[in-house]
Amino acid sequence: MNPPSPQVPVPPGYQLRDIQLEMSLKPFFDNSPATRSAVIHEVFEQWRALARHAESVSILLWIGDGSEILEYDGVMDRAFEWGRYQGSANPHEWKASSKSNTDGVSSHVWSDKNDPHRNGLHRRSYLYRETPAEFTFEWLAALVADIKRIGGKLLGIPIYVGETFDIGPEFAISRFKYLWHPEILAGGNSLFKGQFISCEAILHADDRAYAAFPQGIPEGTTIGRFLGKQANRFFQDMGFDFLWLSNGFGFALEPWGLVGNLFDGLHFHPEAAAGTRSRILGFWKDLRAEFPVKYPIRTRGTNLCTGIDLGSDASPLREIYDPAFHVEAPVNSPWAALDGDFGIELSGWMSHIARHPGDTFRFRYYLHDPWWKNSPYLDRYERNPHDIFLPSAISRIRSDGITEIARDIAFLTIDDSDGLMPLAVPNEVTAHLLRAREFAPDDAGPLVWAYPFDAFHDLVEKAGQPEIPFHADTFVGTVINDSVPLNTVMDLRDLPQALQARPDLPSGRIFLSPVPAAGSVEEKTLLSLLRKVGSLLLYGPICGDSPFLGMLGLEVGEALEGDFQLTLHHVPPNEDVESVGRTVRHTNFLSAGGIAEYAASEPAGAHHHLATLQCGDKKRVAATYSKLPCGAQIAWVRGSLATAEFDPGDPFPIRGPILKPMDDSEFFPCGRLTRFCLDAMGWHAAITHRASASRTPYLTIHRHRNAFVYSGYHLDENAELRLRHPLGAPLPTFRSTPVVDGASEISGTRAWSHEVRIFMEAGENGVYRSRFEPPVGFCVYRRLFVSGCRKATLNFLVDPGSTLPIRILRDPVFPYLAGDFVNPEVISTPYGPVLRVQNVEGSLLVEW
């Protein structure tokens, strides 16, 4: 009899609650039970290596667009319309204009001039196979049952199956939306008038028989109530376990645009907030009145940030998160694959999880698109894992000070537009994802976004200032787009309790926050942080009675708008500023008012205005830094916003879906000033050469087992990023790193992620290599080898998991048992205990 298998402990980062595998019906080339079984077996076999780390696996079926729920009449042998198309299934004309369509592509691309025969996927649809299978509801119920049975047998864990509901015209032909009940589509001045279902829609009477409405639809039935009641019956008959609401449904009346009921593209209308909020909440109340909470609702959410959704559409996320609705927090947007704006992806996701309603939150990764003939991992990402590494650096700090990471994961989708499931994709992506989970965040990163979740809602719902959260979150997206390593978030409400639980939390960290209202609870919290010698980086307009004005050496005067000439008084060493314009365009309605902050005539203390602005004889401050007498650091950046899309002659001069950046050869991107503030506060990141890319490199920094993990994405691998940590130049493991003027130069790789335990505090320029050698010794856990040192002072961060004695050897020679062993200096730092070795020439080995 064989002994039992050893129970191997699972590394903490690997532990997953749920893996959601999303798929269309396209892999089922016919409706036979044999094909159904074969496809299901293949799905679970392909993802077994990842599923072994999960408590459950969910299969989310993209059957059609959710119209199968709306049209369901309870007849099980009836065939249903499904997503058997490539391209937009419901034909409609894209007008030839410069506005963007739902795929993030300028619609003039699909004009008659550029597509004269109307062959493009945005002009017509194609069947994905010559003779697609026909499916009945009876077959669908059997599919759901087979998925649970086969998956449970193969994996030995619970298997859940979900159904999707989408609001648009893309995925399957919908008689309900476009023929029977077009009144449910957004109207008026909506960006997607006549295309998207509005969550406030009210149906006209209909005498057709539906499963939950056998006598037809009564006049005045809300879409929430109709969908809820139909879904309840549909789930009972088919065996589904959860519902997925797609493309922002239920979070805004205009879920795909910057504009909405409160923002028309030029003016904010705070008077519309109460009514808009009530109508959105009405949808959730009606939905849950008919759709029992035993069925969880998982959500895509909008592609934007909480503050933007609040500012444009009074999106009541705080109330939607009520446990009574049993809703998961939205996932990160897949838009970054299309528009390259990872700043809005990361900032939007963090703003949605700063407070969330469940035990965890979900990360979603874009593998394939089963409708639009692209497979982002294989083509858009070019098999680079940056959209795994960057979001995997995201963490949330709870009120008890504990770091929380995503324990739910979703994959859109595991099949492509041809119904294929390329074997390389699950294998490569699983390896990348497990690598990222192996080094998952376990503590707050160096920059923590203290997100004012309550204050933002109150600014819209009570104070009538929707422009403030709109500007604040829009600006943070531009900040991340400019190499600022913002990847830790917490609810500002939780900060006092977290500081009690963890008095060390401010040590070595900078807290990022919009300027709070004078006298507010948020202001008191941030002032308390400073008294605890924390570091604070504020952004946004400052009111005249704010105590932060004096700390920053500022006064408030006339609010100005227009084009200003920028003077930079502090630039990170070696930063390329010659190729960037010196004009700053400050647009009032995008920037929460005019810029009013100017340098105080008699500043009290040491203030350093890092960037100033001038328009005619008027001067303003764009960014400033101060060291307070208590030792705390405080910095501020105003955050001027503008967009190249702005057309004052258009009735809606800005529609989005995102702000188009200004040409930075003429206009200075103000998000960059945030990085300059961080440099003044001891965290150095400089763009020395951007190469041909339109965006600067992306950067995240998180903590793992007392090390720092640096991750990044260079749109052009030749772009050069120079980094210096307060402990010195980081020396990433398994990399030869040029150190120039005390900073590490990172280039030559598009997507990268490296553990860093060694920092060069001082030394000569050169190429330094840090790598882990094979342990090759009894009771040896790791051997870190650094070579290329020239008069170097090296700082080593101790691995807290090690109980072994640490040995340090100069000029190591294998087998590393004899030689010049060092007794290092042990110093206490805000980043943990550090072993320091000075005057290192050649190589150094650290063994533990």
Label each residue of 257-322 as H, E or C.
CCCCCCECCCCECHHHHHHHHHHHHHHHHHHHHHCCCCCCEEECCCCCCHHHHHHHHCCCHHHHCC
| CB contact at 8 A, 538 and 635 | yes
Q: What is the pLDDT of residue 108?
A: 46
DSSP element (H, E) containing 141: helix 137-155
The average confidence (pLDDT) of the chain is 93
Q: How far apart are CA 666 and CA 675, in angstroms?
A: 19
Q: How far apart are CA 676 and CA 783, in angstroms?
A: 36
Distinct helix (H) and strand (E) counts, the chain: 19, 39
Task: Check for a shared fold between 17-89+125-438 and 506-677.
Answer: no
What tokens appear for 147 in the block?
A: 């998925």
Q: How far apart are CA 518 and CA 585, in angstroms?
A: 27
pLDDT digits 0-9 by tens, 657-688: 889 999 999 999 999 999 999 999 999 999 99
Q: How far apart are CA 121 and CA 101, in angstroms?
A: 13
* Residue (of 141, 197, 190) closest to 170 by Cα position: 197
Q: Which CATH number describes the domain made up of 17-89+125-438?
A: 3.20.20
Query: What separation in angstroms does the CA of 64 have from each of 163, 226, 256, 652?
Result: 9, 18, 20, 33
Q: Is the pLDDT of residue 94 over 80?
A: no
Q: Kindly give the pairing relationship between strand 488-491 and strand 447-451.
A: parallel
Q: Kindly give the pairing relationship between strand 242-245 and strand 297-299.
A: parallel
Q: What is the pLDDT of residue 191?
A: 78
Q: What is the pLDDT of residue 65?
A: 96
Q: What is the pLDDT of residue 645?
A: 87
pLDDT digits 0-9 by tens, 174-213: 999 999 999 999 988 787 888 999 999 999 999 999 999 9
> Candidates 1.10.860, 2.60.40, 2.60.120, 3.40.50; correct CATH number of 506-677?
3.40.50
Split at pLDDT 50, 70, 90, the class of 829 is very high
Q: What is the pLDDT of residue 111?
A: 73
pLDDT digits 0-9 by tens, 349-395: 999 999 999 999 999 999 999 999 999 999 999 999 999 999 999 99
Q: Is the pLDDT of residue 116 over 90?
A: no
Residue 49 vs residue 101, higher pLDDT: 49
pLDDT digits 0-9 by tens, 152-172: 999 999 999 999 999 999 999
Q: What is the pLDDT of residue 105?
A: 39
For residue 325, report the phi and psi dihedrals to the nearest 5 degrees.
-90, -15
Q: Is the pLDDT of residue 89 over 70?
A: yes
Q: Is the pLDDT of residue 104 over 80?
A: no
Sign of CA dihedral 118, 120, 121, 125: positive
pLDDT digits 0-9 by tens, 533-546: 999 999 999 999 99
| CB contact at 8 A, 574 and 740 | yes
- What residue segments make up the domains of the chain, in order of their start? 17-89+125-438, 90-124, 506-677, 698-847
Q: Is the pLDDT of residue 7 over 60?
A: no
Q: Is the pLDDT of residue 217 over 70?
A: yes
Q: What is the pLDDT of residue 779?
A: 85
Q: What is the pLDDT of residue 603?
A: 55
For residue 352, report the phi and psi dihedrals to the nearest 5 degrees.
-85, -25
pLDDT digits 0-9 by tens, 746-760: 999 999 999 999 999
Q: Is the pLDDT of residue 650 over 90?
A: no
What amino acid is encoded at 145 in this protein? Answer: A
Percent of the chain with pLDDT over 70: 95
Mean pLDDT of 267-295: 98
What tokens appear for 238 in the block?
A: 């088919």
Residue 34 vs residue 694, higher pLDDT: 34
